[in-house]
Amino acid sequence: MELTNTLTMKKEAFVPHEPGKVNMYTCGPTVYHFAHIGNFRSYLMEDVLEKFLRYQGYDVRRVMNITDVGHLSSDADTGEDKMLKGAKREHKSVMEIAQFYTNAFFKDCEKLNIRKPDTVVPATSRIPDFIEMVEKLLEKGYAYQAGGNVYFDTGKLDKYYVFGNQNSEDLAVGVRESVDADENKRNKTDFVLWFTKSKFDGQELKWESPWGLGYPGWHIECSAISVKELGGYLDIHCGGIDNAFPHHTNEIAQSEAYLGHPWCKYWFHVLHLNDARGKMSKSKGDFLDVALLEKKGYNPLAYRLFCLQSHYRKPLTFSFESLDNAAQAYQKLVGRVAALAKEGEPDLEGARPFQEKFAQALGNDLNTSLALTVLYDLLKSGVSDATKRWLVASFDQVLSLDLLEAAEKAAAQKGEAVSPEEAAEIEALLEKRAAARKAKDWPAADAIRDELAARHVVMKDTPTGVEWHIEK
């Protein structure tokens, strides 16, 4: 397959270090709050990549860290630790909120059909490994102590800015913040490997180290966990594009200095989900999470389809209108699959061209929208229903839209009786909602949507009006 590699900003043929095997590392969530649907855009597209590699027959090993210490409010080593901020907000300990939001993260992943990585490692469980890596970096002359902290010396590298797309605006932010923040740094771009002192000293979790009681910098966790779990040659490192600088740039600096050879070959970055206010982010407070989508009556898999409809290397703008469209598209898709006859054997010969087109689409830099087109083309085509069902099941190993399961459910519910009184009430609510939407009274429309969701009403806008059914 071909993937856009942020190192070169080019589509490159994917060739793993060891034939047939893929080592994949993903920067996990900072667990101080629920993950928002922007974060999940990244995890969703990474999930599709992982599943497509498995679909192609690769033996994939995927590792994810959980950031539960060291990620300060600014990515450039300044401000308060995000975890402590979350703990204060909720009057709980850092470990309590870490546990709570880690569980919440994986529950949301399940709802979005995102597979849990083979290995998940909380940063706080690997402190001795981080210390060992920092010691080696000091020994090799890539790190220095100043003002009680240990820093990585970026001046020792031939090349620090490794990514082809590092844009001067991003860099300027990082550089400016580090200059203002820390006069211990020899170079503007140096970063902290181990803190014993920082502008902020109220850290709750601290560990003994050769440099005194302290805690790790944010970047070291991913290098140390990845090298320990996946070895010195990493095939694919994933993350949202905001992680490219400084986080991934610093990961590369310290991993390659530690290992003494090139480390990760392909950098897979997902561009941001934006809303009307710009990049969706947790620090903005009132962000959209999976629970809110569900509260508004959306099936989380409609959000998955929404993400699959566009390319991961392009920014994606979120609006409820476009999510409504995806939700309708999802219902339609399920309806079409539900209409397929179950009898008969698949014609594997007839299936092959569709399989090839599907693999070609995803093999071309994970073109998920084209892969969906192949699915639509298949459903419209003249091949037998049994072949269609067989291919839907096959494609869904990667798309993970639960199409056959949802179709089963839809078919079972079709016969479910709704009393005439209940039907009339629902019709009345639908009319009220339509009127509220027309008047752009969004709070009223939302309240009615919530009520309909509570009654398990699933709606579908059609040219002739809203169609609905009960889905329990």
Which parts of this chain interact with ligand AMP (CB under 6 A)?
27, 29-30, 38-39, 41-42, 67, 239-240, 242-243, 270, 272-273, 279-281
Q: Shortest Cβ distance from residue 280 to ligand AMP (Å)?
A: 4
Q: How far is the CB of 74 from ligand AMP (least distance, A)?
A: 12
Is residue 123 part of the contact set for Zn ion (CB under 5 A)? Answer: no
30 binds, among Zn ion, ligand AMP, none (CB under 5 to 8 A by kind): ligand AMP
Is residue 27 a contact residue for Zn ion (CB under 5 A)?
Answer: yes
Do 20 and 59 contact (CB within 8 A), yes or no?
yes
Contact 93, 213 (CB under 8 A): no
Q: Closest separation between CB of residue 157 and ligand AMP, Å?
A: 23
Q: Identify the residue whose tokens are 């009393």.
A: 419
Q: Select from ligand AMP, Zn ion, none the partner in contact with residue 300, using the beta carbon and a kind-dependent cut-off of 5 to 8 Å.
A: none
Q: Of these partners, ligand AMP, Zn ion, none, which one is at the site of residue 244 (CB under 5 to 8 Å by kind)?
A: none
* In the complex, minimum distance from the CB of residue 278 to ligand AMP, in angstroms, rounded to a whole number: 9
Q: Report the residue number, 56 or 281, with the smaller CB distance to ligand AMP.
A: 281
Q: What share of residues in the chain are helix, strand, coil (percent, to 5)?
A: 50, 20, 30
Q: Is 348 left (phi over 0), alpha (psi -120 to 50) or beta?
A: alpha
Token representation of residue 231:
């070895």
The length of the chain is: 472
**Which CB sits closer to Zn ion, 27 or 241?**
27
Distance CA 397, CA 378 (A): 16
The site map against Zn ion for 218-257 (x = CB under 5 A) is ----x-----------------------------------
* Angle value at C-alpha 241, between 8 and 39, nearest 5 degrees: 150
Stretch of residues binding Zn ion (CB under 5 A), selected from 16-24, 27-35, 100-108, 119-127: 27-35
279's contact among Zn ion, ligand AMP, none, with CB below 5 to 8 A by partner kind, is ligand AMP
Would you say 86 or 217 has its CB closer to Zn ion?
Answer: 217
Phi/psi at 223 (5° precision): -65, -50
Q: Which is nearer to ligand AMP, 108 or 153 (CB)?
A: 108
Distance in angstroms (rounded) separating the CA atoms of residues 171 and 160: 12
Whose CB is nearest to ligand AMP? 240
Question: Please, what is the minimum distance in Å from the beta carbon of residue 27 to Zn ion?
Answer: 3
Instruction: Write down the H helix ranges in 296-384.
Output: 300-308, 320-338, 348-363, 368-380
Q: Is the dihedral of CA 172, 173, 174, 177 positive or negative?
A: positive
Strand 143-146 and strand 149-152: the pairing is antiparallel
Half-sphere exposure of 233 toward its Cβ, with a 13 Å CA cutoff?
A: 7
Strand stretches in 14-108, DSSP E: 21-26, 59-66, 72-74, 78-81
Kindly indicate which of the ranges 3-11, 25-33, 177-185, 362-370 contains the residues binding Zn ion, using the contact rule CB under 5 A: 25-33
- Binding-site partner at residue 325 among Zn ion, ligand AMP, none, CB < 5 to 8 Å by type: none
Cβ-based nearer residue to Zn ion, 221 or 289: 221
**Cβ atoms of 26 and 62 closer than 8 Å:** yes
Beta-carbon contacts of 300 under 8 Å, excluding residues fewer than 6 positions away, are 108, 111, 112, 290, 293, 294
Q: How far is the CB of 41 from ligand AMP (least distance, A)?
A: 4
In the complex with ligand AMP, the residue whose CB is nearer, 102 or 325, is 102
Binding of Zn ion at residue 280 (CB under 5 A)?
no
Instruction: Output 270 or 436, the one with its CB closest to ligand AMP.
Output: 270
Q: How far is the CB of 244 from ligand AMP (least distance, A)?
A: 8
Dist CA 242 CA 433 (whole Å): 38
Name the site residues for Zn ion (rule: CB under 5 A). 27, 222
